Amino acid sequence: MKKETFTFAALGAALLAVAGCASTPSSSDLDREAAAVMKASFRDQGIAKTDRLNQDLGQAACSSDKPPSDAVAQQVMDQARAAVKWPAGGQYIGDWREGEKLAQNGRGMTWTDASAAAKDNGGSCYNCHQIGKAEISYGTIGPSLYNYGKNRGVTDVAAPTAQPIVEYTWMKIWNGKTYNACSNMPRFGHMGLLDEKQIANVMALLLDPKSPVNQ
Amino acid sequence: MADPMRIRAQAAGDKTTVRVLMSHEMETGQRKDSAGKPIPAWFIQEVTTAHNGKTVMTAQWGPSVAKNPFLQFNVKGAKAGDKITVSWVDNKGDKRTDEATVS
Amino acid sequence: MTKQRFTLAAAAVLALAATNAAWAQKSAADGIAEYRKMLEDGNPAELFEAKGAELWVTKRGPKNVSLAQCDLGKGPGVVKGAFVELPRYFADTKKVQDLESRLVSCMEMLQGFNAAEIAKTPFGRGEMANVTAMATWIAAESRGMRFNLPQGHAEENHSYEIGKRAFFYRGGPMDFSCASCHSVDGQRIRLQDLPNLTKNPGDGIGFAAWPAYRVSNGQMWSMQLRLNDCFRQQRFPYPGFGSEATVALGTYMGVNAKGAESIAPAIKR
Amino acid sequence: MQTRREMLAHSATVAGLLATAGLLPQTALAAWPQAAFEAKTMADAAKALGGGAPAPSGDVTITGPDIAENGAVVPVGAATTLPGVKQLLLLVEKNPSVLAAVFNVTDAVEANFNTRVKMGQSSNVYAVAMMADGKVLYAQKEIKVTLGGCGG
């Protein structure tokens, strides 16, 4: 995973150049100042270092109450799509039971966590999505994923007809910015939050006809 | 010494509703600290309540009563101006007594 | 992957996004509402409120004086109504300050405490616990009043603009900003309602509810601790106590909450 | 009156003893019914307090929410209108020890108590009335404990 870091000044210039952004000088002064205030207000703690404040193109482009221009958004999506890694040996689908555990688990990557390794992270899926019917404590920031595979006609995850939705789902989990430049969903694969095997398990939770999600 | 309790005693008709908040950790003894060492149980074991000096109710608690405990009960016949006293003792022998006037 | 495939799949997603979202939600929401109502009567925040009231009038610190002359923005010693006008600009420190950073300044200027030492103290410990207790009491003294932060001073307006940018600032391994969870009406994380903090989210909601007693850990949470844990969950690095970004966020949320009735100190999950 | 320092020293000693003994804390009170508080079932707890076999009763009331937003604080209440009630108990079926609280009833108070308990998971909670004649009557209610917040 490679993180491209932009200085705030460079970003401002990029936005002006690419988007023809109409921000007034005083507003971009404030942007610059706010970035400096952020840097000055935080310190390292455990695994959470201040370099987490360095923004890549997508983070910087989606850091205001206005969406980025179509051109910038397209650039973010193109970069995201180009960087998607497909599973080794085409192993898209793992164990839905493990996927459910990951979906329930909201831990990982905070300054109170000892390790930033994928194996120590959860997927936090229920924080934002309805998934399995049995879990009533689910969030609504993302769409409901109940019957995700069933509603998309997946009766056999290995069938050629299922391949488009399988690949689409992998991309969404690997990096949701592939379809929406300012998606609220973490880039689980791209940022190393989950490894391929873990993602395959979450895939199984959503797509496996035997998963309770599709019952 | 433990922090004071908050006691509200309100008369309505021929009874007084008493609501008490106590400042206490109520540690279960089941938890571990960040170093993995068990945190010893520490909880209120006995609560005694009195109306104008006469004991009206006692209670025994275990560690599964919630932290900073809340207790509500109704004293028959208590009226405005009467005194309600609440005392507790925890398993370390620490204790606390506070008093409120019925309003 | 072809472009066409994206489009097909995206259409399939859109078609399904709206279904199934409503079932089982209503009864759970009703249950949670009932639970919250049952907890309202007997909020342990009262214990901290009482402690804070006592601390305010107690002679303490190297100079052994009380905080009775502390100026929270409405003149020395005026507590009532101060909470719903903070953060604001203070001429003596030449800074916009929130309730907690202002309290620490008073403790330094009047009582002789070391402000930097207090700022470094973990939440819930030592003088930091005392700051939280006093903030709880000071907030309670404005219960029922409506937020009305001053924006007359250039620094106050500046703080708002910085706070707005801090609110939308994305970063960290999960790309979160405050706005990721708090810029749309009616959303939840798990079963917890998420206030839209880009506007007045309503009486006693969001900025108008903190400090609050957290039942999940039995701790009294000030706004500084609320923000601190938001940033932890945002997977950001550690925000300094009273740092400019945290105070500016307070200004942003507080100004947006104009007219909202304060119920602080509240009780929260 | 003990000073704060003495109290802390005393507490530290007790904590040390507990840590080495590895036992439930020694009780500072002879009256604290240790066996009842160590019971794993409602029947065992009732027995430890000198009662018979528990039987369900419509005259005993358990109050609580259907769903708890957090298991650390769950408001519950026990009440009965039956004459001759000696004690009211609150129990949580799936806690490591089921008994949470014992309230000793006198003529000077109503047999109606509210407090808040911790619940490790979704569980039945019971209100139990220990009667003067040795009968044990109970009411039960299921309370769901939900996972909340960001979970991190």
Tell me the C-alpha distance between C100 and A141, whole Å: 32
User: Does C35 lie at the interface with D, CB-CB under 8 angstroms?
Assistant: yes
Chain C residue numbers with beta carbons less than 8 Å from the beta carbon of B19 are 41-42
User: Does D120 lie at the interface with C, CB-CB under 8 angstroms?
Assistant: no
State the nearest Cα–Cα gap between B99 and chain D, in angstroms: 17
Residue C91 has pLDDT above 60, yes or no: yes
Task: Give me the phi and psi of D6, to 5 degrees please.
Answer: -60, -40
Suggest the residue from D62, D63, D69 to mutate for an interface test with chain C (most C CBs closer than 10 A). D69
How many helices (H) and strands (E) chain C has is answered by 10, 8
**In CATH terms, is domain C43-268 a member of 1.10.760.10?**
yes
Provide the pLDDT for residue B1. Answer: 65
Residues A206-215, mean pLDDT to the nearest whole number: 97
Tell me the C-alpha distance between C241 and C225, whole Å: 8
Provide the pLDDT for residue B8. Answer: 96
Residues A118-122, mean pLDDT to the nearest whole number: 97
- Report yes or no on A48 lying in a domain: no
Angle at which helices A163-174 and A196-207 cross, to 10°: 130
- Report yes or no on A113 lying in a domain: yes
Domain containing residue A151: CATH number: 1.10.760.10
Chain D residue numbers with beta carbons less than 8 Å from the beta carbon of C34 are 65-67
Show the tokens assigned to D149.
Answer: 């917040």
Residue C18 has pLDDT above 80, yes or no: no
Here the ipTM equals 0.83
Task: Output b/e per residue, D19-38; b: 16+ Cβ within 10 A.
Answer: eeeeebbebbeeebbbebbb
- Report chain B's mean pLDDT, rounded to a whole number: 95
Cβ contact C175:A61 at 8 Å: no
Show the tokens assigned to A191.
Answer: 């940022």
Exposure of A14 by Cβ count < 10 A (0-12 exposed, 13-18 middle, 19+ buried)? middle
Tell me the C-alpha distance between C85 and C259, whole Å: 11
Q: Choose the closest CB to C181 out of A48, A141, A165.
A: A141
What chain A residue is nearest to C185 in terms of C-alpha separation? A141
Closest C-alpha among C255, C151, C158 to residue C200 = C255
Show the tokens assigned to B1.
Answer: 């010494």
Residue A109 has pLDDT above 70, yes or no: yes
User: Does A184 lie at the interface with D, CB-CB under 8 angstroms?
Assistant: no
Provide the pLDDT for residue C26. Answer: 54
Residue C178 has pLDDT above 80, yes or no: yes
Q: Which residues make beta-bridge pairs with D62?
A: D78
| D14 against A210, higher pLDDT | A210
Identify the band that residue C29 occupies on the pLDDT scale cut at 50, 70 and 90.
confident
State the residue range of the domain holding A15: 1-32
Residues A21-50, mean pLDDT to the nearest whole number: 86
Q: What share of chain A in percent tops pLDDT 70? A: 88
What three-state secondary structure class fits A178?
helix
- Report yes or no on A102 lying in a domain: yes
Same domain, A115 and A209: yes
Tell me the C-alpha distance between A202 and A207, whole Å: 9
Identify the band that residue C71 occupies on the pLDDT scale cut at 50, 70 and 90.
very high
Cβ contact D118:D95 at 8 Å: yes
Catalytic residues of C: 230
- Report yes or no on A144 lying in a domain: yes
Q: Choose the closest CB to C233 out of D64, D69, D152.
A: D152
Report pLDDT digits (tens) over A147-181. Answer: 999 999 999 999 999 999 999 999 999 999 999 99
Please indicate whether, in this complex, the C-beta atoms of D101 and B61 are within 8 angstroms of each other. Answer: yes
Q: What share of chain A in percent tops pLDDT 90? A: 87
Angle, alpha carbons B9-B15-B20 (nearest 5°): 25
Report pLDDT digits (tens) over C180-228. Answer: 999 999 999 999 999 999 999 999 999 999 999 999 899 999 999 999 9
Provide the pLDDT for residue A50. Answer: 98
Please indicate whether, in this complex, the C-beta atoms of C216 and D66 are within 8 angstroms of each other. Answer: no
Tell me the C-alpha distance between A66 and C198, whole Å: 13
Q: Choose the closest CB to C216 out of D64, D66, D70.
A: D70
Residue A24 has pLDDT above 60, yes or no: no
CATH architecture, domain defined by B6-101: Sandwich (2.60)
Tell me the C-alpha distance between A172 and A77, whole Å: 11
Residues C29-51, mean pLDDT to the nearest whole number: 91
Task: Give me the phi and psi of B56, to 5 degrees please.
Answer: -115, -20
Residues C156-185, mean pLDDT to the nearest whole number: 98
User: Does C46 lie at the interface with B, CB-CB under 8 angstroms?
Assistant: yes
What chain D residue is nearest to B51 in terms of C-alpha separation? D108
- Report yes or no on A169 lying in a domain: yes
Closest C-alpha among C143, C145, C126 to residue C55 = C126
Please indicate whether, in this complex, the C-beta atoms of B91 and D26 are within 8 angstroms of each other. Answer: yes
What are the residues of chain B with a beta carbon less than 8 Å away from any beta carbon of chain D?
Answer: 1, 15, 26, 28-30, 38, 40-42, 45-46, 49, 51, 54-67, 69-77, 89-94
DSSP code per residue over C19-76: TTSSTTHHHHHHHHHHHHHHHHSS-THHHHHHHHHHHHHS-BTTTTB-STT-BSSSSB
What chain D residue is nearest to B43 in terms of C-alpha separation? D25
Q: What share of chain C in percent tops pLDDT 90? A: 85
Please indicate whether, in this complex, the C-beta atoms of C191 and D65 are within 8 angstroms of each other. Answer: no
Say how far residue C49 (Cα) sits from the centre of its chain: 17
Can you give the residue ranges of every domain in chain C? Answer: 43-268
Provide the pLDDT for residue C92. Answer: 97
State the nearest Cα–Cα gap between B9 and chain C, in angstroms: 12
Same domain, A9 and A115: no
Provide the pLDDT for residue D30. Answer: 60
Give chain D's domains with CATH numbers: 1-30 (no CATH), 40-147 (2.60.40.2470)
Same domain, A26 and A103: no
Residue C11 has pLDDT above 50, yes or no: no
User: Does A134 lie at the interface with C, CB-CB under 8 angstroms?
Assistant: no
**What is the number of structural domains in chain A?**
2
Provide the pLDDT for residue D25. Answer: 44
Provide the pLDDT for residue C41. Answer: 86
Show the tokens assigned to A126.
Answer: 């229920």
Tell me the C-alpha distance between D84 and D98, whole Å: 24
Most distant CA pair in chain D, distance = 51
Cβ contact C91:C100 at 8 Å: no
Q: Choose the closest CB to B67 out of C42, C50, C218.
A: C218
Residues 6+ apart with CB under 8 A from C174: A109, A186, A191, A193, C234, C235
- Report yes or no on A50 lying in a domain: no
ω into residue B40 within 30 of 0, thus cis?
no
From residue A129, how far is each of A132, D11, D56 by CA, in Å? 9, 47, 40
What three-state secondary structure class fits C101?
helix
| C27 against C257, higher pLDDT | C257
From residue B52, how far is each of B75, B102, C2, D94 by CA, in Å? 11, 10, 84, 39
Provide the pLDDT for residue B70. Answer: 98
Provide the pLDDT for residue D17. Answer: 37
Please indicate whether, in this complex, the C-beta atoms of B25 and C218 are within 8 angstroms of each other. Answer: yes
Identify the band that residue A202 occupies on the pLDDT scale cut at 50, 70 and 90.
very high
Provide the pLDDT for residue C23. Answer: 43
Chain C residue numbers with beta carbons less than 8 Å from the beta carbon of D68 are 35
ω into residue C265 within 30 of 0, thus cis?
yes
Provide the pLDDT for residue D29. Answer: 55
Chain C residue numbers with beta carbons less than 8 Å from the beta carbon of D74 are 35
Report pLDDT digits (tens) over B57-83. Answer: 999 999 999 999 999 999 999 999 999
- Report yes or no on A152 lying in a domain: yes
Residues C102-119, mean pLDDT to the nearest whole number: 98
Residues B34-55, mean pLDDT to the nearest whole number: 94
Strands B83-90 and B95-101: what pairing?
Answer: antiparallel
Residues in chain D, pLDDT under 50? 1-28
User: Does C173 lie at the interface with D, CB-CB under 8 angstroms?
Assistant: no
Residues 6+ apart with CB under 8 A from C229: C221
